[in-house]
Amino acid sequence: MQRQDPLQSPFVPFSPNPSLQQGTPTATAPLKHSLTASQSSNLRYSSSRKSIYDRHLNRTQRSELSKSSFAFLFGEMVQYAQKRVSGIQDLEKKSATPSFVPTHVSPAGPRHLKSLSEAIHSLTPRRLNLHGYTIGQRLLELLLWRDGRSAKRETRILGILQFITTTLYRSIFNKPADALEKSRDNEDEYMLIDNDPMVSSYISIPKEMSQLNCAAFVAGIIEAVLDGCLFPSRVTAHSVPTEQFPGKTVFLIKFDESVLEREAVL
């Protein structure tokens, strides 16, 4: 039986599985009540640990680690992303399309870029964005699950933005975002303001792009939550330093037209 390849993201259209008609178990899940069918797992579990399904989801809810651990890890994430980008640049001179740019971020096409460093500057944040995105997807379900019976799905723009500004932000950074503003010029734009992004303030690598990368990471988290809740949008990060807050960052959230249309009807 073919096992799920975790490196692929299969998109299988929902269609009647012919093997159902004979009542035989499918490759995806047993459709018989017993597990004697072709299910086979190679996974070994230690007797103490058993499986992830035995572990309580709230066990590490209040756990803490040192901020510098996160900073070091983040720094390596950036370094690695930069290495990957500069490696791929050579490949991409030969082939036209970028191979790793996530589909939810519109690719700029590195064939238009003039230099390797330009490629690194623009493409590294995208990889950071993708890391943030996968984290955001998980945090969304985890946080809502933890709300238990009172968990609710956000259905309005203001609701989801408030969720991000308060609940999400607090869970990651221990403080809510500093402000949420609606653009005066554009109906579809909102701004989330963080005066002192925890991620940026703690990165001690003296690389000029570090702030952009940190912001791209957080933007990815935000975008994942918005996408997950069906508020498709583009989230971009902008550095707007002030004297008081040199690290001040604005996350610009531009909602898709479909979101506004839906909001108008509700």
Residue 113, amino acid = L
Complex with another protein: residue 191 or 210, whichever CB lies closer: 210
Distance CA 54, CA 107 (A): 41
CB atoms within 10 A of CB 54: 8
Minimum gap (Å) between residue 255 Cβ and another protein: 15
Complex with another protein: residue 67 or 111, whichever CB lies closer: 67
Minimum gap (Å) between residue 9 Cβ and another protein: 5
Minimum gap (Å) between residue 122 Cβ and another protein: 19
Buried b (16+ CB within 10 A) or exposed e, 155-191: eebeebbbbbbebbbeebeeebbbebeeeeeeebbbb
Q: What string of DSSP letters covers 68-110?
A: HHHHHHHHHHHHHHHHHHHHHHHHHHHSSS-SS--TTS----G
Complex with another protein: residue 86 or 252, whichever CB lies closer: 86
Query: Token pair 């975008």 is at which residue?
Result: 223
Complex with another protein: residue 43 or 96, whichever CB lies closer: 43
Query: Token pair 């950074």 is at which residue?
Result: 173
Complex with another protein: residue 32 or 182, whichever CB lies closer: 32
